Amino acid sequence: MREELTDEWQKRGAENNRDYEILTAEISKATFGITPNEYKKFKGINQENLRDHMDDFELILTMLGEKTTTEIHRTKDSQGVPQLKNDARIGGQIAGTARKQIERKIGRSVISNNNYLQNKNRKKLN
């Protein structure tokens, strides 16, 4: 899904890594209330891929925000970073609404400072 989204961004006017960072941050901020860099700090990782350290809910909500954003771009035929950024915010808000509803029903945050890879490796050692 991520590759599909970044391909869409490239076709619609995102030109460099900074554009992708801005758009990704917009989805994350609207979904989770924090940017990917803030999320990495929260999980205690530096250069590693954030997705590798997310649990199921975090991954599902990330994918929901990205897929929704991709479909909004296609539906609106958005062009240029400002329009893409607006779509990314909306896609992230939809995923953020789902996150809040899940959290209300399960009684806890789905955003976790647990590091999935570290936990998985610890379980293998035990």
Mean pLDDT in residue range 92-109: 98
Confidence of residue 18 (pLDDT cuts 50, 70, 90): very high
Closest to 25 in 3D by CA, of 8, 48, 50, 4:
50
Domain residue spans of the chain: 2-125
Confidence of residue 124 (pLDDT cuts 50, 70, 90): very low
pLDDT of residue 125: 37
- The two tokens of residue 6 are 């970044």
pLDDT of residue 54: 92
Confidence of residue 41 (pLDDT cuts 50, 70, 90): very high
